[in-house]
Each structure stands twice: as structure tokens, then as C-alpha cells.
Chain A
Amino acid sequence: MTDMTETLTPPADAARSAGETLLEVTDLAVEFRSDDGAVRAVDGLSYRVEAGRTLALVGESGCGKSVSSLAVMGLLPPTAHVVGGTARYRGTDLLALSPTQHRAHCGTHVAMVFQDALAALNPVHTVGYQLTESLRARTGTSRRDARRRAIELLDLVKVPNAAQRVDEYPHQFSGGMRQRVMIASALALDPDVLIADEPTTALDVTVQAQVLRLLAEIQAERQMGLVLITHDLGVVAGVADDVTVMYAGRAVEQAPVRDLYAAPAHPYTRALLRSVPRIGVAEDRTTGGRLPVVPGRPPAPGRVPPGCSFHPRCELAQDVCRTDEPPLAEVAPGRSSACHFAAELLGGARA
């Protein structure tokens, strides 16, 4: 293991100390401009990624979790624009950089793993080529060294028989192996922060667990900051250190993972947690053995209701929720919630 970290970790400047803040997103707002006017996909999102810790961004489809990470990477589609906020990588605001400067940070400092590994690997290039393309382009590594490095990377993500598979094409790999290749290619330049956008959605359950464990291992070993985007709270429990729950473009609850699972401080989080299937628990529920769901659908972007955006689906909704928007406020040390009744929720759980 020491051998491998030596070969894979570039010299001193990339050293990371645990707890150091690597990426800090503050008040990020992203708008899509269409003929019907501007639509806010992300509205005042803030989070912080520290070295050696994993932050999970959790939410339903369309809540802005992917858009926010694309904004950080400078990969927003042409119709979307960042309209406010900063994303500081070690003090440098990535969003204020020119596209060329921003690009220089992508891959080297902040890298991303995509959801569908088959689509995210180019079918006409060998796996080895794709793993080290960035390396060769940036550092002028020779073909031979790049190939050796590609094999190391495949070993790192535990692709068996790396020396042979490095010359194969993506379609010759299984789904889980492709996702491993995606992770390896994101690690090629040893980034400080890795953003994984639903890395396990396209995989079956057993492979999901393997890939997540791998991500967690690599993250711990290299003291990277990991942003794990997912809609699956079951995934979060085993891997994340901190959780940010998003709803309709905003963070509604931020907490360390244990606290969040022990006592959710927002009714949305609570509803999400209840809807995670668990063996042996469903039977004794009052719902008669059926898995509870969050009623209704998330609001379409641009049609977010006034007041608390979650109130139409919330079981605790009162009149105040329909008119006043609750701010994201600290409700206990280290955790915050955007709910008028966060204190009651926490108190009720303790009682």
C-alpha cells in the first residue's frame, strides 16, 4: 500500500492535511434562461468540503444537486448561468475565473465522476488512452510512462488483470468495471476534490456497494474531499461524513450523518428516511406493511410555492409555512435546518 501511494501521489505541493477546507461553495445560484423567463435551479446553496471528508448532496430529481456541481466544474449547458455566489477552491473563486483558467483547475484540483459510465467513456479509444489522456496532454508524459500509469490506476480501482485490460475498449468492460475506469480517469491527475454525480445509479445493487466502498477507501487513503451526489439515503449512510439535503434548489438541512439519521431536523429529511426500505422494519409500520412515501411531487422549477417550498407535501405544515420562508438556521451545534419547527422536530425525537 505504501508503495502504491508513493507512485501515485505527486510531490509535496498536492499534500492535503485532514480537516483543511478544500472547496467552499457559498450562496450559489444558477438560473436557466428560457423563453418563459429565468428559472432558478439552484438558489443560495452553500456547502464546504474538507480534506478527508465526504459530503453527500441528497435530493430528489430536479432539486439542483447535479446542476450545482456542473456549475462548480464550469460545465453548465449554454442556457444556464451562474447568477450569484462563489465556489472557492483553496481561496480561489473558480466561478470568477476565465474559462481557460477554470479549465486548468478541472481535473487537476477538482474532478468529476459521471453517472452513466458507458456514455461517459469514448467508444473509439482504449481504456488506457482515456485514463491518461489528461496526463499526457498536461504534463507531456511519454506513451510508455502513460501506459504504466494507466495500469497503476486500474490497479488502484481494482480492475483485475490491469496489464491486459488497459488495451481494451469500454464496451469490453462490464458496468461496474466501467464505473471503476471512470473513477480512475478522474483520479489520474490526483485531484483534491472529487465530485461523484450519482456514481452508482446505473449499477446493480451488489456492484453499487463495491464501487461505493472503493470510492470511500480511495478517499480516505488520499485524504481527498469527496462530494457524493445521490438521491439514495441508503447509499449515504455508509459512506458520507456530512449530509446536505436539497429541496427545490435549496439546502433544507445540513448535518453530520449520524445526527441526521438519529434525529432529522427537517420534515423532508424525515420523510426521505422513512421511505428507505429496511429489512424487518416495514412489517410493524402502521401503513400495513407498505413502504411510506413522500406524498406529491417536487415542485417544477419556476413554480416553487411561496413560503416554505416543501409545505404542500409536509405533514407538519401550518399557516406560517405558507407565507414565511424559513431560513437555513443553526438548530444544534454543527447542524442547521430550514424549518419553522426544527426545534420541535429535534425535541420530539429526543423525547
Chain B
Amino acid sequence: MPEPTAATTTPDAPPTDASVSLGGDAWRRLRRRPDVIVSAAVVVFFAVMAAFPLLFTSTDPQRCIIGDSKTRPQGLGAAHPLGTDVHGCDMLAQLVHGARPSLMLAFVVVGASVVIGVVLGLLAGFYLGWVDTVVSRTVEVFLVIPLLLAALLLLSLFRNVRVGSGAFDVILLPALVLTLFGWMGYARYVRAATLEAKNLDYVTAARALGASDLRVMVRHVLPNAIGPVTALVPTAIAGVISAEAVLAFLGIGVRPPAISWGIMITNGAEWVTGGYPYLLLFPLGCLILTVLALVVLGDALRDALDPRLR
């Protein structure tokens, strides 16, 4: 028999909140890693750039003087610190103003794809049967349709639809197309992980205590099945930013006059061998920096949050 004292005193002990201590612990772990701090700084830098472009440049990105075409970078303080592009538009202004559509598009597309993919993958893996048949076949159909072909089709469908010119409106079409063709990977990964997790004993144990399907899925299967998805997300963000450039080529990318990193990369790529590599290197550098920072952050976050890795 345990001593009665143990039972009577412990309930009076000050209750510390489990989730708070987990979060605090994760924060302490993150702070100790310099790569995490650098990455966080990079992400914050670009996020601020996207939110407040005027902090970084006062030049209008659409004020292009063809006579100044392909001015080489002039350094800080000059009229064109990073030079100008083929049309004589200021590179710095374009980079800064391109951050918002690029980053927003990336986060919207990846966010929506993850939600769709995770929900469908979870349902398919959990219930199997006809749900799985429908989801799996749909995944396959979307996988075999070439992105460009489908994009052209959607373009013709939406050609006459007028969208506004707000920050979200300019990325609406590319977001739609890229989400439509971006969720399948997550669905497949989550389905596979769900199949594995749902037969484990702790799922049966939860059922033995009377847990409903929804509870089993959300509380027990999903946290154990989400791992592969977190690994995919940072690279997917890079993929979206560059895919947007391809769509821009077809005229369904970010709508002009808005500019994006993807468009700048596509345009700049032509001039790399022509003696103007900076036209490509600046936007590409921004993209690579963002993606690397996100990869490091994603890794660190997983290490800090997954109790199994402690």
C-alpha cells in the first residue's frame, strides 16, 4: 500500500503546465544553436522586407529607364546599389518589392497543400476501403497530368475573370494552380505513415479506452505521422518560388505590374552567359538564403519538439 501521505500531499503540489514546460524546453534548446539564430535572423529579415518594403528602398520598382539598362551594381549610396535589369529597372527595388508576392505565394501554397494532403492522406490511410480508393486514384491522376498543361487549361478558364490588385489577388491564380498540383506528395507520405501508425498498440490501447475515430486520428496517429511532412516543407517552399517563375512565363504567374523573385530569376537566367550574372545571382541568392534558413529552422524545430529525439 502506498503511504497515504503520498496521495494526500501530491495533489496540493503546484501544478505546472505540461505544454508550457515543453515549449520552454524547446526554446532553451533552440537558443543554444548559433545556426538557428542566424537562420532565424535571415527569415525575419526577409519577412520584414516583405511586410515593409519601403524600409529598404524608396525607389519605385516600376520606374524603369531603358537608357540605364543593365547598369552594373554601383554599391551602397549610389542610385542603383545593385544595378538595373534589362529594362533599366532598379534591381534592389525589384528584389525588395518581389519578396512579398514570392514569400506569400510560397507560404499560401505550401500551407494549403499541407492541409489538403494531410487531411486526405490521414482519411485514406485510416479508413482504407473506398475512401482510400478515391484519394489514391485522385493522387495518381494529378500526378500524371503535366503541370504546364493543366496550368494552360486553367489559364484559359480564368482568362476573363477579373481579380483585384491587392497583395493576395496578384498571387491568386498561381496559388490555385500550384496548390492543385502540390498536395499529392503530402497525401502519399501521410497515408503511408498512417498505415504504419494505426496498427500500433497505442492506437489499439486508445480504442480500448473508448477513443473515437476522430480522436484516434488527430491525437494518436497524426502526431506520429507528420514527421515526413515537416521534412518536405522547407524544400517545397523553394520549389513553389521557382515554379512560380515557370507559370509567369505562361502569363499566369504573379500578375504584372507586381514582380516576384521567380520572374526575376527567369529573366536573369538569359544573361548569365552574356556577361551579366548578377541579374540572376541576386534573386537566386535571396531564394537560396530563404530556403536554407527555413531548412535549418525546420530541422531544429523538429529536434526540439520531438520527444523521441531527446
Contacts and interface: CB of A to CB of B under 8 A. Distances in A.
A129 interface: yes
Nearest to A110: B208
A155 B206 contact: no
Contacts of A33: none
A106 B11 contact: no
B223 interface: yes
Contacts, number: 121
B93 to A, nearest CB: 46
A244 interface: no
Interface stretch (B12-20, B180-188, B250-258, B272-280): B12-20
A104 B210 contact: yes
A347 B4 CA distance: 51
A12 interface: no
Given A120-B204, A121-B205, A167 B210 contact: no
Interface in A85-136: 103-108, 111-112, 114-116, 119-126, 128-129, 133-134
Contacts of B310: 169
Contact of B215 (A137, A148, A182, A217): A137
Contact of B205 (A1, A158, A182): A182
Assign chain B's interface to a size class.
35 or more
Contact of A114 (B205, B211, B212, B220): B205
A120 B202 contact: yes
A119 B11 contact: no
Given A120-B202, A148-B11, A155 B6 contact: yes
A3 B223 CA distance: 38
Interface string A243-276: 0000000000000000000000000000000000
Interface of A is mostly: helix
B306 to A, nearest CB: 7
A107 B205 CA distance: 10
A161 B36 CA distance: 35
Given A158-B2, A167-B21, A122 B220 contact: yes
Interface of B: 1-2, 4, 6-8, 10-11, 13, 15-18, 21-22, 200-202, 204-212, 215, 219-220, 223-224, 306-308, 310
27 contacts: A3-B7, A3-B8, A7-B7, A73-B208, A103-B210, A106-B209, A106-B210, A107-B209, A111-B208, A115-B201, A121-B205, A122-B206, A122-B224, A125-B219, A126-B22, A129-B18, A144-B15, A147-B15, A148-B10, A155-B6, A156-B2, A156-B7, A162-B6, A162-B10, A166-B18, A167-B18, A185-B205
Given A4-B7, A158-B2, 17 more contacts: A2-B4, A4-B2, A103-B207, A103-B211, A106-B207, A106-B208, A106-B209, A112-B208, A114-B205, A119-B200, A133-B211, A151-B11, A151-B13, A152-B7, A155-B6, A162-B6, A171-B308
Interface of A: 1-4, 7, 73, 75, 103-108, 111-112, 114-116, 119-126, 128-129, 133-134, 137-138, 143-144, 147-148, 151-152, 155-156, 158, 162-163, 166-167, 169, 171, 182, 185-186, 188-189, 217
